[in-house]
Amino acid sequence: MCECPVASRVKFATGTLEGGALSWWNAHVRMLGLAAASATPWNVFKELIKEEYYHFDDIHKLEVEYYNLKMVGSEIEAYTKRSNELAALCPNMSNPPYKRIELYINGLAAEIQSMVTSANLPMIQQII
């Protein structure tokens, strides 16, 4: 959102932490030193956050929900919103993009699913 340079993302993100997350980061800084902790690459930082706050059982529940997600009635907006949320939370199930497309189409109502499938669209944005 702030268009901050990649090299400054960790510094910016950790500057917004509060409560237990801030305590966790401060312990990490004490262990590595401020310079080394601040130089943590963004992808590594995201993995550290996941390791600390995402527990296997929670991730598994989200993956099961994502795999079984179905459109209810004509609630396409609600289905799409939840599908997008779960795609962000379960990146291993959404990459490469064809997996994301497959999961999205499989959850659509049957009458919509057949129309979308026959259109053979290559990108999730077009399908949505």
Q: Which of 40, 125, 126, 54 has its CA nearest to residue 90?
A: 54
Confidence at residue 55, expressed as pLDDT on a 0 to 100 scale: 83
Residue 97 neighbours by CB distance under 10 Å:
11
CA angle 107, 76, 114 (to 5 degrees): 50
Q: What are the tens digits of pLDDT across the range 17-33?
A: 999 999 999 999 999 99
Sorted by where each begins, the domain ranges of the chain are: 6-53, 56-127
Model pTM?
0.69
* pLDDT-above-90 percentage for the chain: 64
Q: What are the tens digits of pLDDT across the range 47-97?
A: 899 888 888 898 899 999 999 999 998 899 999 999 999 999 898 899 999
